[in-house]
Amino acid sequence: MQTELQKTERELKIRNYSSKTIKSYLYGLREYFSFKSCDYTKLDQENMRDFLLNCERRKISPQSRNLFLNAIKFYYQNVIKNSQKIEIQSAKKPKSLPVVLSRSEIEKILQIPPNTKHKLLLSLAYGAGLRVSEVIALKVQDMDLEEMTLHIKQAKGQKDRISVLPEKLVDNLKNLIVGKSGNDLLFESERGGKLTTRTAQKIFEKALHLSGIQKKATFHSLRHSFATHLLENGVDIRYVQELLGHQNIRTTQQYTHVTNPKLKNIKSPL
């Protein structure tokens, strides 16, 4: 098993897959190999279906099952070089609306952290529509305080993009970077070095808890709220798509279901 996993890891790295995707694919493939137990290199579609059914019975989410399937397909197509088409459809994912915080809820959350750096981290994540992995990776040189822009480098899908820098954060950001060089991280950990995504998530979770807001929000809800509030302000959806770095406009369109003013203006007949 280990030999096949190493071959897969090598191929993923050659193709410049992200470290997160590599980790996820290897985990999924390890799960499948453990289920298969032998003859790993033999493509057996019935065995794959049995594995995915077993995952469903174990209450593994459709998203994770689809990831496992993608990992298996990558292994047989790109590592084993088997040209046989794997005719197994992805699991249907439940369609749910993103959890969006109102402007007043955002304001309440951003006022809570006593640590100025923590408050600034959450404020920038919301104000620029950043993923947690993006905000902790920001460097001083990624900010253009004159043009009021942020350069997000090698984000999801290994793509760069430009986002807006909130004007009201400029003074605090200037104070934060005093004595730092361009290559220094914007938000360093207490011991120096990069903050972990979990640390950033805990900062948000603590602020959410202390705010008393009952929504099942996560750090990513800051990004959802950024997109929703821009659309409510009348910003064209194409610009919102570009700021978020969405490849497909349909991903951005999910926010139109949350912001639809015609629906919100309907009065219940009760």
The residues assigned a catalytic role are 131, 156, 220, 223, 246, 255
In this structure, what DSSP letter does residue 87 have? Answer: -
Residue with tokens 């005719």: 87
CA separation for the pair 21, 10 (Å, rounded): 13
Structure tokens at 159: 């793509």
CA separation for the pair 28, 47 (Å, rounded): 15
Q: Is 91 helix (H, G, I), strand (E, B) or coil?
A: coil
The one-letter code for the residue type at 6 is Q
Residues 6+ apart with CB under 8 A from 177: 140, 143, 184, 186
CA separation for the pair 61, 104 (Å, rounded): 33
Q: Is 4 helix (H, G, I), strand (E, B) or coil?
A: helix
